[in-house]
Amino acid sequence: MVGGGEGAFIGAIHRAAAALDGEWQLVAGAFSSDPERNRRSGAALGIEPARVYNSLDALLVAEAALPADQRIDAVSIVTPNHLHAPMAIAALDAGFHVFCEKPMALSSAEARLIAQAAERSGRQFGLAFTYSGYPLVEEARARVARGDLGKIRLVQVEYSQGWLSQPIDRDGNKQAEWRTDPARAGLGGCLGDIGTHAFHLAEHVSGLGVRELCADLTIHVEGRRLDDDVAVLLRLDGGARGTLKASQIAAGDENGLKLRIHGEKGGLEWSQMEPNTLTLRWLDRPAELVRAGGPGLAPSTLPRLRTPAGHPEGYIEAFANLYRSFAARIRTGNSDAADGFPSIEAGLRTMAFVETVIANAASDQKWSAVTHS
């Protein structure tokens, strides 16, 4: 693991998620660029001191020198955004699989360099689009794919948080600080941090690509340097229409990621904060509540479940599903998209999305095409 030392948030989630199914063991790390903090973090995690490295480079060199049955299999990158690309490329080139936090990189150009590194190394590269790990997100995807809703007409996604409503980025909140710093977060603020999740979820579940978009980016908190609020009109494949709304100044909102998709015959709704219910509504019959662990689930949903119906699973379990898929990809060498695991292609799409939104919002152009090559 790179990053995720004392005071970090997402590193601890990665560790819990990886531990949950017993498929991964944390044996080495470079948890902080501050040596003393790094040492303390490693000790707190029970890592053998010799494998607590002061930099990713040191880690890669030392681990690569270990016998194959002792060295790490993969590197988990949980640093601020600006380090994702250089670190991922270094780790791939050193022969390790990489599981990386989103967004993939600071730019499409950087993201493509990662793609090339993965290609030449033959290693797996996975991205933490956590929400695709939820069982009922897979259920939604499977049902859309098999045509339950008919031809898709509407895709509405929103991701609503309120934690940046005040200028806490100037008051010493480390999480807020780097996320609003263009040098470390990239060109998008809210856009990169959670807009990318929303975009990925929309394309992943609908199975449709966003062709054109029209965006409004706003900075509501005075003095902030990156957007804290995003609104986008979407035009998707096949004439479908959509909206994407992401905000980090929706005061009082927690982590409100919600997806609605409507087709000719019915609609579905999924909300991350109550993740174990997928609501299906129909033109011609009563709405249905499809439940995690309940009857009627798609075959691809079942392996994502650990508990019987009514025993709620949550965010860490969703994350753990990604780690499990990642392990399976490494074991089997298989990296086609059938397992729903978010990998390079998804990363490139989200980078194209971020760049298109930023360009569109800064221009008088109404509609901008979203492309990546």
What burial class does residue 46 get, using C-beta atoms within 10 Å of its C-beta: 0-12 exposed, 13-18 middle, 19+ buried?
Answer: exposed
Closest CA to 369 of 360, 47, 80, 50: 360
State which of positions 318-347 bind its own copies (CB under 8 A). Answer: none
**From candidates 16, 62, 113, 328, binder to its own copies by CB under 8 A:** 16
The verdict on 314 binding its own copies (CB under 8 A) reads: yes
The verdict on 66 binding its own copies (CB under 8 A) reads: no
Q: Print the binding letters for residues 205-244 with its own copies: x by CB under 8 A, - otherwise.
A: ---------x-x-x-x--------x-x-x-x---x-xxx-
The verdict on 368 binding its own copies (CB under 8 A) reads: no
In the complex with its own copies, the residue whose CB is nearer, 95 or 296, is 296
Tokens for 159, please give them. Answer: 């991701």
Minimum separation from the CB atom of position 320 to its own copies (A)? 9
**From candidates 113, 154, 187, 298, binder to its own copies by CB under 8 A:** 154
Cis amide linkage into residue 103, ω under 30° from 0: yes
The verdict on 109 binding its own copies (CB under 8 A) reads: no
The verdict on 266 binding its own copies (CB under 8 A) reads: yes
Q: Is 222 helix (H, G, I), strand (E, B) or coil?
A: coil
Tell me the pairing of strands 97-100 and 74-77. Answer: parallel
- 271 close to 258: Cβ distance less than 8 angstroms: yes
Q: Which of the ranges 28-36, 100-108, 195-203, 362-370 carries the binding residues for its own copies, by CB under 8 A?
A: 362-370
The DSSP secondary-structure symbol of 168 reads G
CA distances to 216, 232, 239, 242 from 366, in Å: 10, 11, 17, 15
Tokens for 82, please give them. Answer: 């600006």
Minimum separation from the CB atom of position 85 to its own copies (A)? 26
The verdict on 275 binding its own copies (CB under 8 A) reads: yes
Total residues contacting its own copies by CB under 8 A comes to 87
The verdict on 149 binding its own copies (CB under 8 A) reads: yes
Residue type, 193: D
The verdict on 316 binding its own copies (CB under 8 A) reads: yes
